[in-house]
Amino acid sequence: MLGEPLVSSPDGASIRRKRRIFGRREAVTASRSVSPKVLAIVAPVCVAGAVAIGTATWLYVSNGPSLGDVVALVGLFVGYTLAERFPVPVEGIDSGGVTLGFVFAVSAILLLGWEAGVMIAASGPMLANIGRRPPIRIAYNGAMFALSALAAGLVIEAVHGDSVGALLLRLTIASLLYNWVVNLALISAVVAADSGRSFFRIAWENLKQTTAPLAFMVSAALTLVILWQRTPVLSLALVGPLLAIALYQRSTYKALRAMRLALTDPLTGLGNHRSFHERLQRELTSAEQVGTTLSLCLVDVDDFKTINDTHGHPVGDAVLGQIASRLRQGGEAFRLGGDEFAVLLPAHDESQAVAVAGSIVERVSAIRIEGVGPVTVSAGVATYPVQGVGRDELIRLADSALYWAKEDGKNRARTYESAAMLLTELEALAGSPDRSARYRAAASLAKAVDARDAYTGNHSERVAELAARISRRLGAEEPQVELTRLAGRLHDLGKLAIPEEILRKPEMLSDAERLVLERHPQIGFRMLESLGVDPIADWVLHHHERWDGTGYPNGLSGEQIPLGARIIFVADAFDAMTSERVYRDPLSPRDAMTELLRNSGTQFDPTIVAAFAGELDMGELVNAPRSLAI
């Protein structure tokens, strides 16, 4: 890759690997020491480069250059040094940009001979970086380019003639050799030795990423050589276009950099929440067009609040940084906020995605930060098109799988499972003596319901919160309030057995479809009854009974309906009216409350509606004329 990350050398020193392509800043910088493998390459290169520079200088001076030759040498040297000092930033190359030094070095080889080329190619970057780069990096850069210029200059001496074809051949050979020695030999070798990666893989990556800059540099070098051969003064005409290109590229790069920063999480360097949603939508569109799969893996740090509270936010930030580095190895990773991450896995089916998620969990569990102890994550996976087709649906399903992984003991990866599999696990818990475990299992299923229903967000959680507020407003004791809250979370549990095409149908349901949907209270009752979570099972069974007796399933009326069921009915209706649905826009809270009051005494318990209006500071609507409530 271009712009290598920090890596650790065998003795623990941090080494930043950089490369230099056509004068692009790349070499090896050691904060304290260089690993023996890297030194085995750097040392002989520096020695060979020093010999090349010394020999070139001695031969150039021995040949007795004219004043014009010296002026030409100085002019090309100044151009190289300035180009080196002010590189042109290029998108996709993160190590400082591309300098135009290549143009002056190759031109010097063609115009003044290999001796002048070696002197300019070596001294330009060395002078420009004194005081700005570590000595070992300056020496390695200078040696690399000295050897590159030497190789290019010696080979093109075999090409004779003054024709255009001969000039083009010399330029092409010099350019390719200059580039190959730097990138494919010296740079790739030192990066491979430092990282342990394949030399050929690194060389291939370098070649791909430098093809476009090479074409531009060769064209600029050809122009400079032709102008110089006519008269050196004309070469000054190239300064304007090169400067214009440099300034334009800098402004463009700044805009692109600002755009990239807007899509990047500053703490981890991963894509942020906005970047994730944009990228997910693009990948879904591509998967649909090509007919491939796309898996989404959501990752959440286990007990991260405890880490922050116990060790402080700086330690928490360090943990997030370590986790981010592990996520990069799995796929394209994003930080969604707090301790939540996402990894996109294009062309991964469900089994492949679960394997990747499992490896992420394993890698994170190997993190050891002094004083913190083990760090673990949980992961949830959903796959397009098997489990979800839309962006929001895929996120909901992956989030449901993540929630199930948390409830199942944390430090594990789970895929979104079908309702049948979830029901099987729930039934297996029915005989457990741990009542709280049965409640947690049922709550996990409620989360799965929200993933399948047509509501936006976590409908069951919102109903639970509203029901708890109503219960507290009515004067219930705290245990009863919490029981009402749990019932609110579980009120639509029976929808797990309802076909998803009915739950998500954008049009009005047919009579047959409505009959199927109206079975969900009985189904939820049977599921909860087997777990022994009374009175919640009864409340769920009757949460669609109407005050006037025309509801379902049993046609109960008035106070025959359990109080908890009446509370949930009001909370459920209010959230349904204020939530965005596929077939209508949401009502405002005030309009929804007005609708509840309009149906108070027929559909809803008047006392509960009035209490709810007071809880939401809309008590003045209770006594308003009903004509105003339409």
Q: Measured between alpha carbons, how far is 445 from 448 in angstroms, rounded to an integer?
A: 5
Q: Measured between alpha carbons, how far is 375 from 361 in angstroms, rounded to an integer?
A: 10
Condensed to tens digits (0 to 9), the pLDDT of residues 134-192 reads 888 888 888 888 998 898 889 988 888 888 888 889 888 888 888 777 667 788 888 77
The two structure tokens encoding residue 415: 């895929």
Contacts with 422 (C-beta within 8 Å, 6 or more apart), sequence order: 404, 444, 445, 448, 496
Cβ–Cβ under 8 Å, residues 444 and 460? no
Counting Cα atoms < 13 Å in the Cβ hemisphere of 271 gives 17
Contacts with 118 (C-beta within 8 Å, 6 or more apart), sequence order: 52, 53, 56, 146, 149, 150, 153
Per-residue pLDDT at 12 exceeds 70: no
Closest C-alpha among 341, 360, 354, 340 to residue 293: 354
Which pLDDT belongs to residue 10?
A: 28
Cβ–Cβ under 8 Å, residues 150 and 267? no
Which pLDDT belongs to residue 99?
A: 65
Which pLDDT belongs to residue 190?
A: 81
Condensed to tens digits (0 to 9), the pLDDT of residues 245-279 reads 666 556 655 655 555 556 688 888 888 888 898 88
Residue with tokens 């947690």: 440
Helix axes 435-452, 520-531, angle to 10 degrees: 160
3-class DSSP state of 415: strand
| Mean pLDDT, range 124-143, rounded to an integer | 81
Condensed to tens digits (0 to 9), the pLDDT of residues 445-495 reads 666 666 555 554 578 888 989 999 999 999 989 888 888 988 888 888 887
Closest C-alpha among 583, 496, 513, 570 to residue 539: 570
Condensed to tens digits (0 to 9), the pLDDT of residues 270-326 reads 888 888 988 899 899 888 888 889 999 999 999 888 888 888 888 888 889 888 888
Q: Measured between alpha carbons, how far is 341 from 47 in angstroms, rounded to an integer?
A: 48
Per-residue pLDDT at 539 exceeds 90: yes
Residue 268 has φ and ψ, to the nearest 5°, of -105, -15
Q: Measured between alpha carbons, how far is 260 from 255 in angstroms, rounded to an integer?
A: 9
Which pLDDT belongs to residue 497?
A: 67
- Residue 268 CA, distance from chain mean position: 10
- Examine domains 36-181+218-262 and 418-630 and report if their fold is the same: no
Reported confidence tier of residue 125, pLDDT bands at 50, 70, 90: confident
pTM: 0.43
Cβ–Cβ under 8 Å, residues 542 and 521? yes
Amino acid at 342: A
Residue with tokens 């950089």: 18
Domain 418-630 - what CATH class? mainly alpha
Give the residue with greater pLDDT, 219 vs 559: 559
Which pLDDT belongs to residue 15?
A: 29
Q: Measured between alpha carbons, how far is 410 from 491 in angstroms, rounded to an integer?
A: 26
> Which of 3-7, 310-314, 443-447, 550-554 shows the lowest mean pLDDT across its residues?
3-7
The two structure tokens encoding residue 626: 């009903």
Which pLDDT belongs to residue 326?
A: 84
Contacts with 55 (C-beta within 8 Å, 6 or more apart), sequence order: none
Which pLDDT belongs to residue 624?
A: 55
User: At the topology level of CATH, where does 266-417 sit?
Assistant: Alpha-Beta Plaits (3.30.70)
Contacts with 608 (C-beta within 8 Å, 6 or more apart), sequence order: 470, 474, 566, 567, 570
| Mean pLDDT, range 205-224, rounded to an integer | 78
| Mean pLDDT, range 351-355, rounded to an integer | 89
**Mean pLDDT across the chain, nearest whole number?**
78
Give the residue with greater pLDDT, 426 vs 327: 327
The two structure tokens encoding residue 209: 């990423």
Burial class (CB in 10 A: 0-12, 13-18, 19+), 50: middle
Range 36-181+218-262 classified under CATH 1.10.3470: no
- Enter the DSSP assignment of 185: I
Closest C-alpha among 280, 275, 277 to residue 261: 275
3-class DSSP state of 301: strand
Residue with tokens 């979104």: 416
> Which of 350-354, 431-435, 561-565 shows the lowest mean pLDDT across its residues?
431-435
Residue with tokens 């003054």: 162
Asked, as a colleague might, if the bond just before 553 is cis with ω within 30 of 0, I would say yes
Condensed to tens digits (0 to 9), the pLDDT of residues 427-439 reads 555 555 555 665 6
3-class DSSP state of 271: strand
Q: Measured between alpha carbons, how far is 489 from 569 in angstroms, rounded to an integer?
A: 12
Reported confidence tier of residue 344, pLDDT bands at 50, 70, 90: very high
Give the residue with greater pLDDT, 82 vs 340: 340
Reported confidence tier of residue 244, pLDDT bands at 50, 70, 90: low
- Residue 570 CA, distance from chain mean position: 41
CA distances from 23 to 47, 121, 275 (A): 20, 9, 32
CA distances from 252 to 47, 256, 584 (A): 40, 6, 44
Condensed to tens digits (0 to 9), the pLDDT of residues 46-105 reads 999 899 999 999 998 888 888 888 888 888 888 777 777 666 555 444 444 456 778 888
The two structure tokens encoding residue 152: 């290019």
> Which of 55-64, 67-76, 357-366, 570-579 shows the lowest mean pLDDT across its residues?
67-76
Closest C-alpha among 538, 509, 541 to residue 523: 541
Cβ–Cβ under 8 Å, residues 88 and 96? no
Per-residue pLDDT at 214 exceeds 60: yes
Radius of gyration (C-alpha) of the chain in whole angstroms:
35
Q: Measured between alpha carbons, how far is 575 from 567 in angstroms, rounded to an integer?
A: 13
CA distances from 32 to 16, 136, 333, 616 (A): 11, 11, 31, 64
Q: Measured between alpha carbons, how far is 178 from 327 in angstroms, rounded to an integer?
A: 38
| Mean pLDDT, range 33-43, rounded to an integer | 79
Amino acid at 412: R
Ordered DSSP codes for 306-347? HHHHHH-HHHHHHHHHHHHHHHHTTSEEEEEETTEEEEEEET
The two structure tokens encoding residue 218: 């060769």
CA distances from 202 to 48, 141, 377, 515, 541 (A): 23, 18, 32, 63, 64
Domain ranges across the chain: 36-181+218-262, 266-417, 418-630
Cβ–Cβ under 8 Å, residues 452 and 495? yes
